[in-house]
Amino acid sequence: MRIVVYGCGVMGRRVATALLEKRTLELAGAVDIDEALLGRDIGELLEPARRTGVVVTPPRQAPLSGAECVVLTTGSRLAAIEDQIAACIDAGANVVSTCEELAYPWNRNREIAARIDRRARERGVTVVGTGINPGFLMDALPVVLTAPCLSVEKITVTRMMNSARRRLPFQKKVGTGLTPEEFRRKIESGAITGHVGLVESMQLIAAALGWELDAYTEDPPEPVVAEAPVETGFGTVEAGRVIGLVSRSRALHGGVERIRLSFTAHAAVDEEYDEVVIDGVPPIRERIDGGVHGDIGTVAVTVNTAARAVAAPPGLLTMAQLPPPAVTP
Amino acid sequence: MRIVVYGCGVMGRRVATALLEKRTLELAGAVDIDEALLGRDIGELLEPARRTGVVVTPPRQAPLSGAECVVLTTGSRLAAIEDQIAACIDAGANVVSTCEELAYPWNRNREIAARIDRRARERGVTVVGTGINPGFLMDALPVVLTAPCLSVEKITVTRMMNSARRRLPFQKKVGTGLTPEEFRRKIESGAITGHVGLVESMQLIAAALGWELDAYTEDPPEPVVAEAPVETGFGTVEAGRVIGLVSRSRALHGGVERIRLSFTAHAAVDEEYDEVVIDGVPPIRERIDGGVHGDIGTVAVTVNTAARAVAAPPGLLTMAQLPPPAVTP
């Protein structure tokens, strides 16, 4: 299966590296707009002196036709990448994207979603948004875990992550080292957003279960402040400074909470895990000890979804509408 | 969606009860061969004096046509129910069955599977075997849990169940109260089989992951013997007598173990759980604390798969080829 990576940033490069390891998948092209990358062998961007024969090309010269699937990793906001998706569709390629808003675009981006869906159906290709979260841990997996339930009242998903064990950009993203006042200002300015995609995850769950919920709320991220000095990638963070944050969201029906998601990432988390609790018949209490590594997980879910997207019926689908992705040989 | 239950034993009755609770599903018929049940309202079989208007009919008079789906719970062996499946297909109904061998019929029952697949494609309906196990906990769920993996070396699934908390027939099935010698004779005579479907679960995993394995082995069930008196549904079992069993199976490639399944059910299990461990990149260690109740789980997975079967492309499919079932409204 021939696959083009569209977007050669950190995630696109990791996807390219993963594709080069797969027996059944072929890295067939690499697309970016960054002048500094154009014309370079993507191998060089992965490790020094590596050669793959795949050269980074601008979108207009992109070898999209002939590709069964494009893995698009250029943005989190759907409006910003609609034209890129349309170009892939027009070239006859299926599209798997890490765009968070694409994981469930039928609410916040209803009109764009309808346009993409129509275009994809006309051209006979599939478009799906995925990743570790949104796309798997807080939506597709909880949906799968309701399979042994006769009824479900509420779904609670909790991720606990130690940010000090992650990349520096991630630690910065959660406010590590800021004063609580600096953190508050960055929330107000939008420089810190907390986890993106919680509302999309809740909407994906609700759609998959046939739930019509009437309110989706997302609290502003709350800072977690060091009670004692904490070691991080930024050195020691003193007591009283921020070491990370908690993102929380809830979905209700008639005032009753039906879905609650919370994502905690700070440098003093002792025990990392990803947990799904289903209040239902029977109740389900599931946990992945140690959690799933976010970057590896997103690359893997995305690559593993490609084969499913190619085989799926045409249109703009969600992860709950595809046979579950599994590790691709 | 109109659904007929075919088989009005313990599982069929529980499926009927579940269907009567569902807003989007309708119990449209009930089929059995037992003279004692024919002509009776299936409601009476569920609870005293209950009336549903659905009368148990013999297969030849069965209202199969007009049903979108038949839930077939008449046997564990595929050869014994092939004709029943064929009759459902000929009536234009999709089929979801708890037949353990149907969960992955392409190995042990390859020829029957090919006949069913051809017939289903010709008639445009879907046939799938499912249940909690095989069908979910030891195959479909582990496959889903490989989605965030770049590579997988080995999958180990362990179920730990306290049989004393289950139905008496189940406790009998695992040999509760026998002497080790009686247990051994019942294994030899086939009166005790251990858990049915472990090989099918391994084959389903291998097929879903594109693994070509060369050996599937299933050990004879091993008795677990009481070290001290144990309370069970049969009263106190003395030390030295059987309180349950362990079923184990393994799948190998080139002498290397790639899949290991073990199902322990005895009366002295302290901590019940269903666990999936994936040796891969990244590693995944997942556990459902308390385990999933087997009877409720099988009914739920089966009912929840019905909507997926109706929407799926025609043919004989496995659970890994359907969008994951989720709790049905």
Residues within 8 A of B (CB atoms), A 149-208 only: 149-152, 208
Q: Which stretches within chain B are classed as H helix? A: 10-21, 42-46, 78-90, 110-123, 140-145, 168-173, 180-189, 198-209, 294-311
pLDDT, position B295: 86
Check: CB of residue A104 under 8 Å from CB of residue A201. Answer: yes
Check: CB of residue A280 under 8 Å from CB of residue A293. Answer: no
pLDDT, position B234: 82
Query: Coil, strand or helix: which one is B26?
Result: strand
**Which stretches in chain A have pLDDT values below 50?**
none
Distance CA B105, CA B113 (A): 6
**Strand locations in chain A, DSSP E?**
2-6, 26-31, 56-57, 69-72, 94-97, 126-129, 151-162, 215-218, 222-225, 230-232, 235-237, 242-253, 256-266, 273-281, 284-289, 315-317
pLDDT, position A233: 81
What residue in A sits closest to B317 (Cα-Cα)?
A323
Q: Tell me if A296 and B320 make a contact (CB, 8 A cut-off).
A: no
B209 lies within 8 A of chain A by CB = yes
Distance CA B36, CA B17 (A): 20
Nearby residues of B266 by Cβ (< 8 Å), 6 or more positions away: B162, B163, B174, B224, B243, B244, B245, B246
Q: Give the one of A148, A300, A322 whose C-beta lies nearest to B150's C-beta.
A: A300
Distance CA A4, CA A88 (A): 10
Task: List the beta bridge partners of residue B263.
Answer: B159, B247
**Strand locations in B233-283, DSSP E?**
235-237, 242-253, 256-266, 273-281
Distance CA B263, CA B158 (A): 6
Check: CB of residue B285 under 8 Å from CB of residue A290. Answer: yes
**Which stretches in chain B have pLDDT values below 70?**
none
pLDDT, position B169: 87
Q: Tell me if A24 and B210 make a contact (CB, 8 A cut-off).
A: yes
Question: Model ipTM?
Answer: 0.94
Check: CB of residue A30 under 8 Å from CB of residue A15. Answer: no
- Answer left, alpha or beta for residue A114, where phi above 0 means left and psi between -120 and 50 means alpha: alpha
Residues within 8 A of B (CB atoms), A 251-280 only: 280
SS3 of chain B: helix, strand, coil, percent, to 5: 35, 30, 40
Give me the half-sphere count of Cα atoms (radius 13 Å) on the Cβ side of residue B83: 3
Q: From chain A, pick out residues whose CB is under 8 angstroms from the CB of B14.
A: none
CA distances to B5, B21, B68, B73, B307 from B26, in Å? 11, 9, 10, 17, 12
Q: From chain B, pick out residues whose CB is under 8 angstroms from the CB of A286.
A: 286-289
pLDDT, position A196: 86
B329 lies within 8 A of chain A by CB = yes
A285 lies within 8 A of chain B by CB = yes
Q: Tell me if A151 and B303 make a contact (CB, 8 A cut-off).
A: no
Q: From chain A, pick out residues whose CB is under 8 angstroms from the CB of B285.
A: 288-290
pLDDT, position B312: 93
Q: From chain B, pick out residues whose CB is under 8 angstroms from the CB of A128.
A: none
Q: Tell me if A329 and B21 make a contact (CB, 8 A cut-off).
A: no
Distance CA B275, CA B297 (A): 16
CA distances to A74, A75, A224 from A8, in Å? 8, 12, 33
Residues within 8 A of B (CB atoms), A 11-50 only: 18, 21, 24
Query: What number of residues does chain B have?
Result: 329
Q: From chain A, pick out residues whose CB is under 8 angstroms from the CB of B305.
A: 147
Distance CA B101, CA B74 (A): 12
Check: CB of residue A243 under 8 Å from CB of residue A224. Answer: yes
Q: Tell me if A325 and B147 make a contact (CB, 8 A cut-off).
A: yes
CA distance A31 to chain B (A): 22
Strands B284-289 and B273-281: antiparallel
Q: Tell me if B143 and A297 make a contact (CB, 8 A cut-off).
A: no
SS3 of chain A: helix, strand, coil, percent, to 5: 30, 30, 40
Q: Tell me the pTM.
A: 0.95
B210 lies within 8 A of chain A by CB = yes
Check: CB of residue B243 under 8 Å from CB of residue B266. Answer: yes
pLDDT tens string A16-42: 999 999 999 999 999 999 999 999 999
Q: Tell me if B300 and A148 make a contact (CB, 8 A cut-off).
A: yes
Q: DSSP character for A273?
A: E
Check: CB of residue A143 under 8 Å from CB of residue A208. Answer: yes
Structure tokens at A206: 């609700």
